Amino acid sequence: MLDITKDTFGREVLQNKEPVLVDFWAPWCGPCRIVGPALDKLSAEYRNKLKFAKLNVDDSQEIAAQFDVRGIPCMIIFSNGNELDRIIGAYPEAELRKKIDLILAKT
């Protein structure tokens, strides 16, 4: 999973041609740490369909505010620079997979 910052967000997410899931997280967030390993596993599984990235909201507060991230974990899937959908909260891997599949079906 790619670590992104406010400096790389535009290039890696908004200008990317493939869909990108951005995990908005923070090191102090327990639920974020629980979701992390599931996202790592899913990033390998969806390698050719969906790019996975994570953004530390403490280090990139401007980006979190720009996309109205009010609570974490929050995963937003972008396609062609636009938000497709978001997943808010900590879910088990199987549930995350279902939600991602539903969102990708819209593309």
- The verdict on whether 32 is a catalytic residue reads yes
Catalytic residue among 22, 32, 39, 76: 32
- The verdict on whether 74 is a catalytic residue reads no
Tokens of 11: 């290039």
Q: What span, in angstroms and rounded, lies between the C-alpha atoms of 30 and 17?
A: 32
Catalytic residue among 29, 57, 76, 100: 29
Residues serving a catalytic function are 29, 32
